[in-house]
């Protein structure tokens, strides 16, 4: 998929199909995280794939547990990376997933301490991934049209020159 089309058509989706994500695709999503730049290339992160009973417990630590319970893949970004770096890493994983038709959502933590206990370190982001419950096809409209329809503040309101 064209990069700008992927960016423009990506929405945070919370309802996932039961279809599993193949191991190679899960690996590619994680690799997109690994490839992210970070300040001084410090890479102060680990990617924790949370499954089974641990995932059930992690679900109870986020604001929207069903996002995690219904996900085909749940990844916690753990460690001491700067917020800017965590954001880059998370978005790389989510865009690499979307490129393959897998939707995703970041999940805010209601109980960071419990999440740290489950994941074995400070949890900086919890990402849920899965094939969409309601099929979504980015090619049905142009990137410009996706951009126009996005629920975002207008660019002219966000941009200024000094
Ligand atoms: C740091 C962060 C935390 C978020 N936490 C949650 C959350 O706890 N639950 C949820 O359903 N969505 C969560 N979201 C998703 C936002 O609601 C979403 O990015 C925003 O509404 C835009 O959605 P859209 O891309 O579908 O338009 C989070 C997003 C970010 C960046």
Establish whether residue 105 lines the binding site of ligand 1, counting it when its CB lies within 6 angstroms of any ligand atom.
yes
Q: Measured from the CA of 109, which atom of ligand 1 is nearest?
A: 8
Residue 122: burial class (beta carbons within 10 Å; 0-12, 13-18, 19+): middle
Establish whether residue 70 lines the binding site of ligand 1, counting it when its CB lies within 6 angstroms of any ligand atom.
no
Tens digit of pLDDT for each residue in 40-91? 999 999 999 999 999 999 999 999 999 999 999 999 999 999 999 999 999 9
What is the CATH T-level fold of the domain 3-158, as seen in this structure?
NADH Oxidase (3.40.109)
Tens digit of pLDDT for each residue in 95-135? 999 999 999 999 999 999 999 999 999 999 999 999 999 99
Which of 106, 109, 138 to mutate to test ligand 1, by most ligand atoms within 8 A of the CB atom?
106
DSSP string for residues in 28-88 = HHHHHHHT---GGG----EEEE--HHHHHHHHTTBS-HHHHHT-SEEEEEESS--HHHHHH
């Amino acid at each position: 998929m064209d990069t700008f089309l992927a960016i423009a058509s990506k929405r945070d989706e919370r309802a996932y199909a039961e279809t599993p994500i193949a191991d190679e695709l899960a690996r590619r999503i994680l690799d997109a995280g690994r490839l992210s730049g970070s300040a001084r290339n410090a890479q102060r992160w680990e990617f924790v794939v949370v499954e089974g009973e641990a995932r059930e417990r992690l679900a109870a630590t986020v604001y929207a547990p069903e996002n995690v319970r219904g996900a085909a893949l749940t990844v916690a970004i753990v460690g001491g990376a700067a917020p800017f770096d965590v954001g880059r890493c998370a978005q790389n994983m989510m865009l690499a997933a979307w490129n393959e038709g897998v939707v995703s959502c970041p999940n805010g933590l209601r109980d960071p301490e419990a999440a740290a206990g489950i994941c074995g370190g400070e949890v900086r982001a919890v990402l849920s991934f899965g094939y969409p419950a309601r099929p979504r096809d980015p090619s049905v409209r142009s990137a410009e049209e996706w951009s126009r329809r996005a629920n975002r503040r207008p660019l002219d309101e966000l941009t200024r020159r000094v």
